[in-house]
Amino acid sequence: MHEPALPHLHDQDPEIAGMVEDEARRQYEKLRLIASENYVSPAVLEAAGTVLTNKYSEGYAGKRYYEGQQLVDPIETLAIDRAKALFGVEHANVQPYSGSPANLAVYMAFLEPGDPVMGLSLPMGGHLTHGWSVSATGKWFRPVRYDVRADTGRVDMDQVRDLALKERPKLIWCGGTAIPRTIDFPAFAEIAREAGAVLAADIAHIAGLIAGGAHPSPVGHADVISTTTHKTLRGPRGAMVMSTAEHAKAVDKAVFPGLQGGPHNHTTAAIAVALKEASQPGFATYARQVVANAKVLAAALTDRGYDLVSGGTDNHLILIDLTGKGIGGKPAAQALDRAGIELNYNAVPFDTRKPFDPSGLRVGTAAITTRGLGEEHMPRVAAWMDEVVQAASKQDESAVERVAGQVRELLASYPMPGWTPAP
Ligand SMILES: *Cc1c(COP(=O)(O)O)cnc(C)c1O
């Protein structure tokens, strides 16, 4: 049963209620290894499902365009104060609807259309919004792309420096969606200073690790920091843009009225709740466990002959290169999903296959760590993955089904925030 319970929804719209319950069961029964996903707490779910969704609040606390902000103002202010305290930043804007609009706000704050922007290229682990060609950010600005090194799988900082000095981007992004290694914020900051560029750290994936002290912080190095709130930070779907006091006005003006209308107040409340949760000592333990689990899983996969981009991980994320395994990422991911192991196919650096059927699998440990799995479970997870990848190459569907049953059996001992099976 969903927690909080959904009695009115079941009455009013059993079709949707049924699918929500089924989705909850799916999340309960699967080993969720999608690196950008998590399980939020019932408290976050409750906050996100409140009457705050009824309220329009264009503007900022004390400067709104609609009346009736007696409670929304202090809620948003609390979310901001918690973000500032948790990350140690001078300014936070909690209104961006999601990570992509948050990043667009960074462009709006610092660039004019056509200005050069530098980011890690998408197939190397960067994000669409860092200037990739199909994104507005790649069409409306002039993208300059850096890569990872073929020999190390890590960002090529020499190339970053050379390109920055040659192309003089106005904005440099560090961070991405498929980076298994620590981001060297001080090194990026030095290059940005030399090149006269604004440095933006996109910590969407690692915000929770930073909050929990399991990854170095960009604060003091980056001029502006964007993040989603729903990945390792374990909040509702949403985003924040944080900055030094110097850039506060530009950031706020870019989010509203630059790009958005009314903020999603129910999401703001849920972000505030998630930030409170992330400031408690248990969250630091969680963040460290996420990384510990990823490291053990990476080692176990390596032992089984899997080739990992960069040879391992420093964070929550593992990028597997299946090139030597004789199977593409897509059929492997599909078989793994049938086996109750949910992840996504992903390009690997210098991928020779097409984006719709690339060579890699991306794995993350944020959600399974929330579920309560520890290092002791990781060798078994690696063994299951290996079994399914081999079964998929041989079209052995019975092995896939056997693993699905074993996964369900293991997970039945680990409660899921937000859903409990009927007794
Ligand atoms: C997930 C992600 C985003 C975008 O977030 P959405 O909420 O999906 O728009 C932006 N940047 C990075 C690095 C991400 O991983």
Residues 228-259: pLDDT tens digits?
999 999 999 999 999 999 999 999 999 999 99
Longest dimension (CA), the chain: 65
> 224 near 239, Cβ under 8 Å?
no
pLDDT band at residue 9 using 50, 70 and 90 as cut-offs: very high
> 191 near 178, Cβ under 8 Å?
no
Instruction: State residue 423's pLDDT score.
Output: 78
DSSP 196-228: T-EEEEE-TTTHHHHHTTSS---TTT-SEEEEE
Shared domain check, 184 and 225: yes
Q: Is 420 a catalytic residue?
A: no
332 part of a folded domain: yes
378 part of a folded domain: yes
Instruction: Report the number of distinct structural domains present in the chain.
Output: 2
Q: Is 58 a catalytic residue?
A: yes
CA of 288 to the centre of ligand 1 (A): 22
Residues 21-30: pLDDT tens digits?
999 999 999 9
232 lines ligand 1 (CB under 6 A): no
> 103 near 136, Cβ under 8 Å?
no
97 lines ligand 1 (CB under 6 A): no
Shared domain check, 265 and 132: yes
Shared domain check, 190 and 143: yes
What Å distances lie between residue 182 and 119, 216, 231, 366, CA to CA? 16, 8, 17, 16
Residues 327-363: pLDDT tens digits?
999 999 999 999 999 999 999 999 999 888 999 999 9
Shared domain check, 64 and 147: yes
Shared domain check, 329 and 240: no
18 part of a folded domain: no
96 part of a folded domain: yes
Q: Is 237 a catalytic residue?
A: yes
Shared domain check, 297 and 269: no
The whole-number average pLDDT for the span 30-53 is 98
Q: Is 401 a catalytic residue?
A: no
**CATH code of 192's domain:** 3.40.640.10
Mutation probe of ligand 1 site: the residue of 127, 227, 259 with most atoms within 8 A of C-beta: 127
Atom of ligand 1 nearest to the CA of 98: 7
Range of the domain at 181: 46-278
